[in-house]
Copies of this chain bind each other. A is one copy, B any other.
Amino acid sequence: MEAGFLLLPELTPSGAVPGASRPGARWRNAAAGPTVHVRRFAPGGVLFGEGDTASEVHELTQGAATISRRLPDGRRQIVDIVGPGRLFGFTTGDRHDCAAVALAATVVCSLDRRAAQRDPRICERVARAMTAEIDRLRNLALLLGCKTAIERVASFFIDLTGDDARSPREILLPVSRAEMALYLGLTVETVCRNITLLKRSGLITADSRDAFTIVDRAALRTIAQGKAPRAQ
Contact = CB atoms under 8 A, between A and B. Distances in A.
Given A131-B92, A185-B144, A138 B98 contact: yes
Contact of A226 (B75, B138, B139, B144): B75
B144 A145 contact: yes
Interface residues of A, number: 39
Interface in A126-141: 126-128, 130-135, 137-141
A27 B97 CA distance: 39
B139 A141 contact: no
Interface stretch (A66-74, A102-110, A169-177): A66-74
Interface string A94-132: 000110000000000000000000000001001110111
A209 B101 CA distance: 45
Contacts of A226: 71-73, 75
Contacts of A77: 141-142, 145-146
Nearest to A137: B137
Contacts of A225: 71-73
A141 B141 CA distance: 6
A157 interface: no
A134 B133 CA distance: 7
Contact of A90 (B97, B131, B185, B227): B131
Interface of A: 69, 71-73, 75-77, 79, 90-92, 97-98, 123, 126-128, 130-135, 137-142, 144-147, 182, 184-185, 225-227
